[in-house]
Amino acid sequence: MSNASPSESVEKSGISQRAASWWKKLTAVERSEWRPLLWSFSYFFALLCGYYIIRPMRDEMGIAGGVEHLQWMFTGTFLVMLLVVPLFGWLARSFAPRRFLPYVYYFFIGNLLLFFALFRSDLNHVYVARAFFIWASVFNLFIVSVFWSFMADIFSNTQAKRLFGVIAAGGTTGALVGPALTAMLVLPLGPTNLLLLSAAFMGWAVLCIHRLVAWQRSSPSTSSRDDNAEKTKTGDPDDTPMGGGVLAGIRLIFQSPYLIGICFLMLLFTTLATFLYFQQAFIIREHFDDPSQRTALFAAMDFSVNGLTLATQIFLTSRIVRRFGLGWTLATVPLLLAAGFMALGLMSALWVIVAVQVLRRAGNYAIMRPGREMLYVVLSKEEKYKAKNFIDTVIYRGGDAASAWVYSGMLAIGLSGAGISLVAVPIAFIWAWISYRLGKHQEQIAAFSIAAETSEHK
């Protein structure tokens, strides 16, 4: 039994309300959104923590497999994507998203256990290293693409603008903890045993999916918002497979200028990211001969990127979108990267490539990635899963492979790293323009949908 007087209770209640109001203003989160937000935050934390535990291993495997063979490993990644996407299309056609999502992660948990066995075997290390580099590149894109498809499906456009930055911060927190765990545990445990820890975090992600599905079922007004009338007639549509062909994502893209624009955005993004990755690999190889030093530098870069990203995602991303609009939000990173390539064109030093790479990745995770995912919120369920997955995987890795060969070709004809950096500058400006136009188009689609819904209720 409480001994507090009524006046003390009122005072405490007032303090609590003021604290809640202050936190709401700071993070732009409604009271009813905390439960799904925290599970989504935890879900993304587990995914990226699990990935970033093994990411330094992937980057080291890229060098161990031969820097001169990187373009082949990028091509191999693209070919594997071509094999995996039809399988994902079959899952999306045959099973409801809430049913097949856990099995996607179970599949990758099995892969982690397989690589654990391979690294402990007597097989040729170079070939296992190349296979792991390719697999990790596929793994990263698939788990993140499926995550954001789910987020775009369960949150509205208005919620996405307020919450996606905070949800992305969950991934950033995981990406901070992952490299820290790697740095602490890689020496006492060895790199191979870290694969088991990564698998444990994938299991955590599956638990979060089940909790979000339970929330989605209990909150019909927040999930499948546009299907409520259909629910009354046929039951819950979230338990119904999407149907369509296994390659329906390709058809959807060619039918939509908007999705084609997102493909160009992704191609330009991955082209410049690949150019920067190659420069990073060559410059770091020139400065460090010891694989352990290179792995430590990669882990330190990951930690710096994610530390810089975290506060931006929690406190600034939603405000940037609301203040400047989605168009300028999406254009920010390519404009900054144009300046970064100019700097590399003038001075290809180690500290310059590290600074540009850290700032580019932080800007991508804090601003570009949440903004890019908002482009899908206004689309249909099939577009959110099938078309988006094709863009996030095949288009992304296809751009990787093509730009890797373009980079090698420019080196072959005598262009230096500095010269390639200057070639990248106008590409960054084109990327900025396309990003701006897509952001404006998304806002128009959202406004039209709201107007149509309002007229239907009159």
Q: Within 10 Å of residue 92's Cβ, how many Cβ atoms?
A: 25
Distance CA 360, CA 233 (A): 48
What contacts 79, CB < 8 A, 6 or more positions away? Answer: none
Domains and CATH numbers, the chain: 32-224+233-457 (1.20.1250.20)
Q: What is the pLDDT of residue 432?
A: 96
Q: Any idea how long the chain is?
A: 458
Six-digit token string for 351? 């500290």
Q: What is the pLDDT of residue 369?
A: 84
Q: What is the pLDDT of residue 225?
A: 44
Q: What is the pLDDT of residue 41?
A: 93
Residues of the chain with pLDDT under 70: 1-29, 59-70, 92, 94, 97, 123-125, 219-247, 292, 295, 450-458
pLDDT in tens, 299-340: 788 778 877 887 777 777 778 888 888 999 999 999 999 998
pTM score over 0.75? no
Q: What is the pLDDT of residue 63?
A: 62
179 in Cβ contact with 52 (< 8 Å): yes
| 63, 169, 191, 214, 280 from 298: Cα distances, Å | 12, 21, 14, 38, 10
pLDDT in tens, 174-206: 878 888 888 888 778 877 888 999 999 999 999
Q: What is the pLDDT of residue 426?
A: 94
